[in-house]
Structure formats: structure tokens, C-alpha cells
Amino acid sequence: MDNLDYPALGFKCGLEIHRRLKTKKLFCNCETETEETPKSEIKRKLRAVAGELGEIDPAALHELGRGKEFVYKIYPKSSCLVEMDEEPPHSANSDALGISLLVSKMFSAKIPDEVLFMRKTVIDGSNTSGFQRTAIVGLDGKFSTSQGFIGITNISLEEESCQILETRDGETVFGLNRLGIPLVEIGTAPDIKSPAHAKETAEKIGMLLKSTGKVMRGIGTIRQDVNVSIKDGARTEIKGAQDLKMIPELVRQEVLRQLGLLKIKKELENRGFKREEIKIIDATSVFKNTASNILRGKEIYAAKIEKVSGLFKEKLNDFRTLGNEIAGYARAKVKVKGIIHSDEDLAKYGIEKEFDELRKILGAKDADLVAIVAADKNMAENALNAVINRVNALLDGIPKETRRALQNGDSEFMRPLPGAARMYPETDVAPVEIPRAIIQKINLPETLDKKLARLEKEIGKELASQIMASDYLDIFEEISGKYNVDKRDVAAFFTNTLPNLKVRENIDADKINENVFMEIFALLQKGRIQKDKIPHIILQNYRTGKSVSEIIAAAPKISGKEIEDVVKAVIAREKTDKINVIIGEAMKELKGKASGKEIAEAVKKVLGK
């Protein structure tokens, strides 16, 4: 139960929603929805450069300090010289630009006379060029929620980053197939009132974007970043909230974390803690004969931090202590496996005696904390210095930082929050003029309220609400508008049959091409397939890659007598005359070889009904 008084805490929250657009890439003609294997690779090392103000962005400096090399896998159909940064970007994709302008108009945003692309410094390896191209296409918009209007600060068109394929010693491997996919980014004002309101806001934006019929669906095609702050705190950006259901918990845990850090700050002030530099010693000899398997035979370095004993085990939120927080900060700065400190249960490591000896060597008092790192000298010193730097920063309260969303609703440190030095003009892409006449010609899609009311009349309230919340709303509309099939059957397929197949057969339905669905319902309209054979066709297509026509042509033909024989065998085995039970069991055995109608007729014939 959430008993926090968010207004009293000075709670502020905003969202950044990123959604991939259903077009080709933003600055070349490469495909964006292909399944292929990489054919070659390139290797790069990125460096930070000063922006227009002559300053280097702090987030870029953080990544630079990690000294990583990056490997990029090349995909022939979905990457080219543009993605490799071996060729200048082509003109901006007009389809993607048009969709982004449509989105701006939907949110009543002010559209600029000219779209100017900028470079956003990114040297974590996710962009081969060391920057991401982005352009503002709308400002000062708004939309309504149950708790009032939410302001839209900006709507941007930008390119997607690379995806991480694997991380190995000293380098990260990326795939170029995702780099350059157009994204629309929607940033809200800090008008969100509570964690639950944050979820509602994200859900409403997502539904508005889906209503265009021009956005991609599936895992990874949408990202939600959450910005949170409280009174006396600071803005924290939590990146990568994939699941809408996790947003309230992410927001709540961040508020608790900031409250916990403010409490720690006050305690440090009460203890008279002063910013300090630490003395790091080589403690390898102390652990020479240690019983600890994780420390035996390792280089070990140690330091004391005055007046913080007991604080590292203080809980910041439901999932993390201050010790977890600071260790995560050190791991992000330096690739050490972990830090062991005196606020932990040292008995579980079997190193109580070693820490007693370390206290004597370091001259540590009861109020002092002792920490060790098992690593080579340079790495250990960097890690321990990162620890003291973060402890010293506790006196400042809440640092402005970017954090990574975790599955449990918590988050972990990634890097400092980017500054203004991150952005500078893109010189390889010409500005795009946006005449007022073009904006006036943009036709807005049916509003969500009107669409819901229409669908409720066509397919009923329950199915209407389900398909509106589904990722398949646009393909449902296309199929039900193009083919003379029962719209309720189409909606039930996307909201019931397909999700059940995903769970029962462990398939990734996002990998099924939309043309497969179109072909299935085209054949259903012509009477060439029965409705109950659709799941079998979907499974065969997914597992074999065969087209719908090939699957139907290859399906073994079965006679009426053979169907009756299966029915008789089912009746004998199940010892029942219940028609629905017999039909269900017979369908399992026949595996799509006969339609439900054919099986039902055979059952009635065998039972003499």
C-alpha cells in the first residue's frame, strides 16, 4: 500500500515516451523490420569532443573514462555505410517526418517553420558516430487525463540506437540493424500527480500513438523514461521502463530512495562528517591465509571512511541499502565485481579476523567504516576513490543522474545526467522547411473516445476495450475494413487466440509478419480455411517459415471415415458422450487436418444425433 503524501513531498514527475515508426530508416533506405544474420563486423573506439560551448558533456566524460572498445555487427538488408558512419546521412525520411508532424498536431503542439537536426553526444557505443541525430518537430502541446491536462514540452524525431548483442571482456558487441530506425519522442511537463497517474499518462500517450496506425508494435519498439524529483531532491531520469505496469513502482521506489538519501545527508551533518580523501593501502598480506574462496589469492586494497559506520546498511527504499547504492556507483565507474565493507555480515565471507586486523592497521575507530576491493592496484584505487567521491557527494543531497530501470521496480546508477554541452548542430543534414499549407492538410485520426464508441457498437464493450489496449489495433482495423469477415472473430483472434498461443506454445508473436495475418483472413473470407484452423497455420508459419498458401497446400487430406474413426477412438478412451469433450479431444488428435465443423458432424453421426 502506498501511504506517501506526494503533494506534501513536493513530488514532480514527467515522462519521455519513445516509439518506433513503421517506415524505412531515418537517413537511408534500409529496411527496419527484417530477420537476418550479420555477415561481417567493424570495431571502433569512441572519444568525447567539446560541444558548441567549448565544454565536454559530463555523461560523455563518464563513458570515456571506462575505456571501452565496441564491435558492430553488419546486416546486409538493414544496415549500410550510413550506419557504419562511412557515408554521410541521406535526406531525412519524408514518411517519418510526416508521421512526427501528425503526432505533433494530435497533441496540439506548435510546429516550427523549419526542422533542424542536432547532434546529441552519445559515446556509450550505441551510435557509431558518437552522437544521435534528433530534431524538434513540436513544442508546447497538451492532452487530457483523469487528473487534468498534461503539458507536452517537446516532440522530437530522432534515430534509434544500436542494440547490445553481448558484452565480453573489455568490449561490447552491438547490432547495426536497429541503428537509424525513426523514433518519435514525446516529453511531458512535470504535471504528473502520483505514480498511478504516471502510468495513466504513459498509457494515454501510447494509445494516441497507436491510433495513428503508423507505429511499430512489440517488445523494444516503445520505451518509457521517467523523470522524478521531490522537495530538496534533484531530477533523476530512470531509463528503459518497458512495462507499463512497472511505472508506478519505479516512481514510488525513486521517491523513497531520494527520501532515504536526504535522511542520510542529515545524519552525516549530525555526525560532523567532512569531505575527505582516503588513504588506500595494499591489504593483500592480511588476506594471505584467508578462508574466503572469493578473496583467496587475490590482490586486495583497503581504506577507511571516517564517521559513516552503520550507514551503509541503512535502507534507502524497499530494495536497496546505501551500501548497494554506492557499490553500484563504483561498478558503473570501474568494472569491479563488488566492494565488501564492515557494515555487511562479514561472517558469511569468513573474514571477521581479517577486518579486525585491518581496523588496527588503518587506525579505524568504531564510528569508521572499512571497505575492501579485490582487483589490481589501478582498478581497486579507482573503485575506492569512486566510493569516497559518492560518500562525499551525500553532503550535497541528491545528485542529478540517469538510472537504469530494473525488473523489480528499483533502479541503478548509469551515468550523470547530461548537460547542455551534449547538443550541437548537425552539419550533414539540411534543414527541412515546413510550409503552413502542409500542416493544414494533415488529417488527424479518429479520436480515442470516438473509436472506442464505434468499436463498442461493432464488437461489444469487452472486445472493444481489449483491442483498444492491444498492440494489434491497427492491423485489426485494416483486416476488418478490407475483408468481409466477422469483426468479432478478428478482434478475438488478436486479443485471445494469439496471446494464448504466445503463452501455450512459447512463440514470439512479434516476429510474425503482418502479411501472414492479412493472408489468413483473406482465405477465411473466401472459405478456403476454417476459423479453427488458424492457430495451426500460425504455428506452422512461425516454426517453419512456410507461407500460408504452402501450409494449406501441404496439409494432409483426411476422409470422413478417418475422422469418424478418430471420434470413435476418443469416445472409447474418454468413456463419454458429451459432444464438446469429444470434439475437443478429436481436434487435438487431428491437429488441423479437419475443421471443427467436419469433426462436429462426425461426432453427431457416430452418436446418432
How do residues 129-148 score in pLDDT, each as one tens digit?
Answer: 889 999 999 999 999 999 99
CB contact at 8 A, 372 and 282: no
pLDDT at 58: 59
Cα 590 to Cα 507, 523, 557, 597, 600: the distances in Å are: 21, 21, 11, 13, 13
DSSP-assigned letters across all residues of 539-595: HHHHHH---HHHHHHHSPP--HHHHHHHHHHHHHHHT---HHHHHHHHHHHHTTSS-
pTM of the model: 0.84
pLDDT at 527: 75
pLDDT at 5 over 80: yes
How do residues 46-80 score in pLDDT, each as one tens digit?
Answer: 765 555 555 555 554 555 545 578 999 999 999 99
Bridge partner list, 41: 73
* Lowest-confidence region among 363-367, 401-405, 487-491, 526-530: 526-530
pLDDT at 421: 63
Question: What's the chain's average pLDDT?
Answer: 91
pLDDT at 50: 57
**Mean pLDDT calculated for residue range 239-247:** 91
pLDDT, greater one: 549 or 428 = 428
Q: Which fold has domain 267-399?
A: Gyrase A; domain 2 (3.30.1360)
Q: Rounded distance, CA 190 to CA 15, Å? A: 8
How do residues 552-591 score in pLDDT, each as one tens digit?
Answer: 887 777 788 888 888 889 888 988 888 888 888 887 788 6
**Mean pLDDT calculated for residue range 454-468:** 96
pLDDT at 92: 96
How do residues 517-544 score in pLDDT, each as one tens digit?
Answer: 999 999 888 877 888 889 989 999 999 9
pLDDT, greater one: 48 or 432 = 432
pLDDT at 560: 83
Q: With bands split at pLDDT 50, 70 and 90, how would you rate the model's confidence at 171?
A: confident
pLDDT at 194: 97
Q: Where are the domains of the chain?
A: 14-235+420-425, 267-399, 448-529, 560-607
Neighbours of 4 (CB within 10 A): 15
**Mean pLDDT calculated for residue range 481-495:** 95
